[in-house]
């Protein structure tokens, strides 16, 4: 009768440890502003890897979105990160709307919400 109780305790303990080790979301939130600091809704935003020495296919991290009414675009990289992995990615940012363009870089830290702001500057011909 003692063996089933011990087995039940072992199974419950294993389930508890598995539940405690849940992966947290790995996200990037890019805010787009104009030169005066005003948010820019409906701006195109692209995140992409541009490694000097590519290991594997860097295009797998490429994502594109339009900013929302608050000038923000949210990107989810949770499925790309594997627990135990050392570091994740440094991505380039490019954004534009009408004749204004902006660029930046964001370091994506695993299991965190990473934020960056990019300023759009008008391009003069």
Tokens at 122, concatenated: 């008008």
Domain chopping of the chain, boundaries: 23-122
Tokens at 26, concatenated: 């790995």
* Residue 64 scores a pLDDT above 50: yes
pLDDT tens-digit series, residues 18-61: 545 567 899 999 999 999 999 999 999 999 998 766 667 778 88
Nearest to 73 by CA among 92, 34, 47: 47
- CB–CB of 77/27 below 8 Å? yes
In the structure, what pLDDT confidence band is assigned to residue 1 with cuts at 50, 70 and 90?
Answer: very low
CATH top-level class of 23-122 = mainly beta
Tokens at 48, concatenated: 């992409």
* Residue 85 scores a pLDDT above 90: no
Cα 125 to Cα 115: distance, rounded to the nearest angstrom:
31
Conformation bin of residue 98: beta by default, left when phi > 0, alpha when psi is -120 to 50: left
Cα 106 to Cα 29: distance, rounded to the nearest angstrom:
10
Tokens at 34, concatenated: 């104009």
Backbone angles phi, psi at 53, to 5 degrees: -125, 90
């Amino acid at each position: 009768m003692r063996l089933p109780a011990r087995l039940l305790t072992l199974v419950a303990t294993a389930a508890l440890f598995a539940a405690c080790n849940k992966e947290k979301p790995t996200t990037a939130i890019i805010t787009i502003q104009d030169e005066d600091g005003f948010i820019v809704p409906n701006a195109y935003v692209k995140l992409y890897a541009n490694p000097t020495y590519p290991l594997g296919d860097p295009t797998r991290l490429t994502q594109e979105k339009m900013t929302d009414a608050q000038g923000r675009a949210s990107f989810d990289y949770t499925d790309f990160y594997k627990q135990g992995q050392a570091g994740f990615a440094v991505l380039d940012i490019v954004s534009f709307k009408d004749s204004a363009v902006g660029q930046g870089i964001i370091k994506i830290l695993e299991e965190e919400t990473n934020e960056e702001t990019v300023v759009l500057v008008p391009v003069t011909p």
